Every structure is written in structure tokens, then in C-alpha cells.
Amino acid sequence: MRHQCRDCIYIYNSEKGDPQNGIAPTTKFEELPESCLCPHCGAKKARFKSLKQKRTKYSDF
């Protein structure tokens, strides 16, 4: 699942994690500590919103 910072364009993808900031791939957003900050703008974890994946007939390509 992906979460986007409401203050900038950064998107956290749990499948990829954020290795540059010590977050391993497959780390769920919910597992991140509350002290986690956006690596681009410094916003708090609470400023992120969930991006629901929309399925289309082309999703599987």
C-alpha cells in the first residue's frame, strides 16, 4: 500500500520501503514509528494519507 505526504509529493510505498532512510522493503506504513518524518519535507507521519489503489481492466498489465 502507498501513502502520500499531504505537504509535498513524497509517496511511501510499503513494498519498496525507504532503504536510504533505514526502512526495509515490506515495512508496512502502520509499523513505522510515530516519530517517523517525511524524508522530503519533514512532515509528521500523521500528515500522510492512504492512496487507495484503483483497479481497472488494465491493472494486471
Question: Which pLDDT value is given to residue 52?
Answer: 84
Instruction: Tell the burial category of 2 from Cβ atoms under 10 Å away from its Cβ (0-12, 13-18, 19+).
Output: middle
**Within-domain flag for 61:** no
Question: Which pLDDT value is given to residue 61?
Answer: 42
**Within-domain flag for 59:** no
Q: How far apart are CA 61 and CA 32, in angstroms?
A: 30
**Within-domain flag for 35:** yes
Q: How far apart are CA 22 and CA 31, in angstroms?
A: 13
Q: How far apart are CA 55 and CA 36, in angstroms?
A: 30
Q: What is the CATH number of the domain that holds 28?
A: 2.20.28.10
**Within-domain flag for 19:** yes
**Within-domain flag for 33:** yes
For 43, the domain range is 2-51
Per-position pLDDT tens, the chain of length 61: 999 999 999 999 999 999 999 999 999 999 999 999 999 999 999 999 999 866 556 544 4
